[in-house]
Amino acid sequence: MSSRYLFPADYMADPAAHVWGDRIWIYPSHDRESGIPERDNGDHFDMVDYHALSIEPDAEGRLDPLTGDVVDHGVMLSLAEIPWAKRQLWDSDVAEKDGRYYLYFCAKDAADVFHLGVATAARPEGPFVPEPTPIDGSYSIDPCCFRDPKTGAYYLAFGGIWGGQLQRYRDNRAVYTADEDTLPKENRAALEPDDDQPALCAKLVRLTDDMKGFAEPPRDLLIVDAEGRPLTAGDHTRRFFEASWLSYRDGAYHFTYSTGDTHLICDAVSATVEGPYVYRGVLLDPQVGWTTHACVTEVEGAWYLFHHDSVPSGGRTWLRSLKVCKLPEAR
Ligand code: FUB
């Protein structure tokens, strides 16, 4: 499969790609060398701003992610502008509704608890103005905003285990709040279900009409096997870890996600946006670097996988580079 490094000039990761107007807009995390030592909880991913990138049309007006010029539109939101956020601007996504743009992002607050935030702009490249507080009822990481093409309703899918803190929550309530890295490993593991129990799920929630809040309590985005059984917590090559992405292709809803410690990008399908989603297979094999994260986006009738790896930084897992490849038609 032919692929391309999208933006060799800087380290960026976790792409969310959308086609708006005559170009492709890409919203990545902006990696940097902070000097923070590596920890299991991901403290070394200490990002402080977001940039918008675009892929430009060619002279004939055609869009090709594999060849089009990539433009960096600069900083669209920085940590210092977000009143509630203290560190670690991780994965984000942007949605368009009625000519306005909504940036969903995650960050740690002063108590080192992850929440989701929202910021708005009149243009896809920003500048984005953040709300003063996190989205009420939000927690964990990796928001993906999806417009259901059948109903026009907007949803957020989110969540991530381990450093993403999803294991601290049950029924949308925190059952544990301290830093798990201060616990012995066996106590940390106790926050996750036993290996033969259903795995923790990504969360799915419908957004309010103004796009700034949850219209309902987040529900589980359940992934089941071909027999309809929920994937189990011990099934590390298939269970959800982080990096939610929703798309509608070939007449089905697709949930794409990372399996984290087994470094796979997987695909699951459903007839409804709410699920359950049936596990279907691997979209992307392990890449260089610990994290893997992808989105699947349609560009002029073909589907592309935008993702990242750590090859250009010599394997430094916190310094990642954006890539794109065409999704094989069989997938
Ligand atoms: O970029 C920081 C974190 O790494 C993201 O939020 C995860 O999805 C992983 O890619």
| SS3 of residue 262 by DSSP | helix
User: Checking DSSP bridges between strand 23-30 and strand 202-206, what pairing results, if any?
Assistant: unpaired
DSSP for 278-330? EEEEEEE---SSS----EEEEETTEEEEEEEESTTTTS-TTS-EEEEEEPPTT
CB 33 within 8 A of CB 72: no
User: Domain extents for the chain?
Assistant: 3-326
Residues at CB less than 6 angstroms from ligand 1? 13-14, 29, 45, 90-91, 141-142, 160, 242-243, 291, 293
Q: DSSP secondary-structure letter at 36?
A: P
Query: Which CATH number is 3-326 given?
Result: 2.115.10.20
pLDDT along the chain (331 residues), means of 10: 91 98 98 94 96 98 98 98 98 98 98 97 98 98 98 98 95 82 65 95 98 98 98 98 97 98 98 98 97 98 97 98 86 55
Structure tokens at 241: 């870890």
| Whole-angstrom distance, CA of residue 85 vs CA of residue 79 | 7
CA of 220 to the centre of ligand 1 (A): 20
pLDDT of the residue at 40: 85
| Whole-angstrom distance, CA of residue 4 vs CA of residue 12 | 14
CA 254 to chain centre: 14
Mutate to test the pocket of ligand 1, among 158, 258, 293 (most ligand atoms within 8 A of CB): 293
Output the CA angle 54-202-267, nearest 5 degrees. Answer: 65
* Residue 14 is among the residues annotated as catalytic for this protein: yes
Annotated catalytic residue, options 93, 235, 242, 309: 242
Beta bridge partners of 107: 115
pLDDT of the residue at 191: 86
pTM higher than 0.85: yes
pLDDT of the residue at 78: 98
Per-residue buried b or exposed e for 141-168, using 16+ beta carbons within 10 Å of the residue's own CB: bbbbbbbbeeeeebbbbbbbbbbbbbbb
Residues 6+ apart with CB under 8 A from 172: 137, 139, 203, 217, 218
Going by CA atoms, what residue is nearest to atom 3 of ligand 1? 90
- Ligand 1 atom nearest the C-alpha of 243 is 8
- Ligand 1 atom nearest the C-alpha of 142 is 6
CB 63 within 8 A of CB 21: no
Q: DSSP secondary-structure letter at 38?
A: P
- Can you tell me which residue has the tokens 């090559």? 237
CA of 175 to the centre of ligand 1 (A): 23
